[in-house]
Each structure stands twice: as structure tokens, then as C-alpha cells.
Amino acid sequence: MILFVVNENSGNGRGAKVWQQVESQLQARGTSYTKILATSGADAFERTDKLLRSTKLKAVAVVGGDGTLHSVLPLLTGTGIPVGIIPAGSGNDTSRAFAIPRDPLQALDIIVSGRTRLADVIASTSGDETQVTITAIAVGMDGAVAADVNGSRYKRWCNRLGLGSLAYVIGFFRALSQFSPGEITVTMDGVVHRFDRGWLSAIANIASYGGGLRICPDARFDDGQLHVCVVHGCGIWRILFVFPTLLKGTHVKRRNVTLLKGRQVTIQTKGRFLAYGDGEPSGETPIEAKLLQGQLVFLTTLSG
């Protein structure tokens, strides 16, 4: 039996439309399934946890976005239970990394096929809060952008227009007017790196976040590395020039951008920087993160 965790509100209601198509196809195929129509991430976690304890599941499939998947990752990491996604969110960076089609029925074919790859995830701790993240943890200005987007009305309008990534562009300019850079200390595998006037420090497991912004272009979900991008030592006008280059990942060539790789990282800042994992709140600095290599079984047609 396959469990479908459905966020009907994902993508400003796109989740409900996608699920309607998927469920009709499941019934036509005679596929054995059960569903959870989640009202929040906490609801998805609690009800999935209950089902995992009482029912033998062949796989878990999320109908929604990166945030919906994020809510159930702690339950599936290290269990060997395959997880997949039928994209219906705003950014859909996970589906992009795993080459999942946007077409719901094509994505369903991948779920039903049962083909999998082992994927890495990020385990992070901030204060008493622990998280499991599959895409990236945004720390600093990019965390402030995520906070602004999540609480905005413009995100809904962008989703209605099918331009989910535009919300992150709007959020960037809104956050830019309020954010103050500060000192960032990144300790990667025991080596300390200090940066003055730090704007952001993103911990990535895949290449993109924020709906296709290629923050760490070389990051792959199975490369056994955490990739950290730090933007530092520049003023607001330089940031305005750097931001457009994130779309293609060419920001990495600029002198105010530093890339680090390793398996365990601690980020400390002078002042409070927000952290967001998979677009969801993940506490604030200081934050510690480590790689959990090959601990998630992901449904995808990508070959090894």
C-alpha cells in the first residue's frame, strides 16, 4: 500500500487539483493506496507517524511542495521506506533535483514504478530544535527572504500566475531593505573560516533553492558532501549585482562569494540570523548541521 500525504493548499490550491488527477488515476489502475489530507506540516507529521506505526507501507508519496516533504522527512530518514514527490508547490526544488516531471500523472508513474536512489539529507540543530532537510538551509538574508515570502500575500498571487519563483525575487528586494549584514563564522570539519560583513551562508544538499536559484551549482543529493555558500565583504549595490547571477550559478566566480565543502558545519553569527530549511523555519544561529549520507530512499528514474 502507498501512502499519499496531500497538502491541498500547496501552490495556492494547486495541491487539491493535482490530487484530484492523481486519485482518479490510482482508482482507474486499481492501485492500493491510502491518503492523508494534511492541514499543516504538524498535522502531516502526526498522522503519518500514526500510520507508519500501524500499517505496512510500500512507499510514501507527498503531493505538495518542499515544505510538505520536509514535514515527514524525520519519519522516513533511515527507515528504508521509499519516499517520492508529486510536485505541487511554489519552488519545487526537490522535484527539480530528482528530475521529477511537473506533470502529475508522469510523476505518479515514478511513484508506482518503485525505482529508487539513495539520497543524502541534512540533520541540523538550533537550540532545542532539530530538523531534517533535503534541499538547503538558508541562513541570514536568504532566511529573511524565506520568512518574508512565507508570510506574504504576494506568494499566493505568484502561485496563481504559475510563477512561484517570482515570489522569492520579490522577497529578496523586500528583505534587502531591512537586513543588516554581520560577521559570520563557519566551522567546516573543524576548520574555522571567518567572514566580515556576511550576508548569507547557505548549507546545500542540492544545487538550487528558492524556486531554482542555483546557490551551490555543484551540489548533488548523493555526493556525500555538504556544500556551503557564503556571500560576504560587500555592500548593498554588490548584492544587487550578485543576485541575478544566482539564476545560472555564475555567482560562484565572484570574489565576494566563498564555497566550502565538508560533512559537518557550524555557523555562528554576530547577531541573530534566521535559518530556514526547505523553506520552513529551522531556528536561528548558532546552527549545527551534519550530513546523513544515503539515509533516504527516494523514488526517481535517475540512474546511478
Q: Could you read off the pLDDT of 215-231 as tens digits, one per residue?
A: 999 999 999 999 999 99
46 and 155 inside one domain? no
Q: Within a domain: residue 222?
A: yes
Last residue in a domain, options 87, 114, 141: 114
259 and 132 inside one domain? yes
Query: Any idea what the CATH number is for the domain that residue 78 is in?
Result: 3.40.50.10330
Ranges of residues in the chain whose predicted pLDDT is under 50: none
177 and 209 inside one domain? yes
Q: Within a domain: residue 83?
A: yes
**pTM: predicted TM-score of the whole model, two decimal places:** 0.92
150 and 268 inside one domain? yes
CA distance 45 to 34: 15
164 and 109 inside one domain? no
Q: Within a domain: residue 192?
A: yes
Spatial contact of 232 and 148, defined as CB atoms under 8 Å apart: no
| Structural domain count, the chain | 2
pLDDT at 263: 98
157 and 265 inside one domain? yes
pLDDT at 25: 96
Query: Any idea what the CATH number is for the domain that residue 254 is in?
Result: 2.60.200.40
Last residue in a domain, options 114, 139, 170: 114
Q: Within a domain: residue 6?
A: yes
Burial of 27 (0-12, 13-18, 19+ CB in 10 A): exposed
141 and 288 inside one domain? yes
Last residue in a domain, options 89, 114, 139: 114
The string of pLDDT tens digits covering residues 40-84 is 888 999 999 999 998 899 999 999 999 999 999 999 999 999 999
Q: Is the dihedral of CA 73, 74, 75, 81 positive or negative?
A: positive
For residue 300 the three cell numbers come to 526517481
160 and 270 inside one domain? yes
Q: Within a domain: residue 171?
A: yes
For residue 136 the three cell numbers come to 538547503
CA distance 143 to 139: 5
Spatial contact of 17 and 29, defined as CB atoms under 8 Å apart: no
Q: Within a domain: residue 8?
A: yes
pLDDT at 159: 64
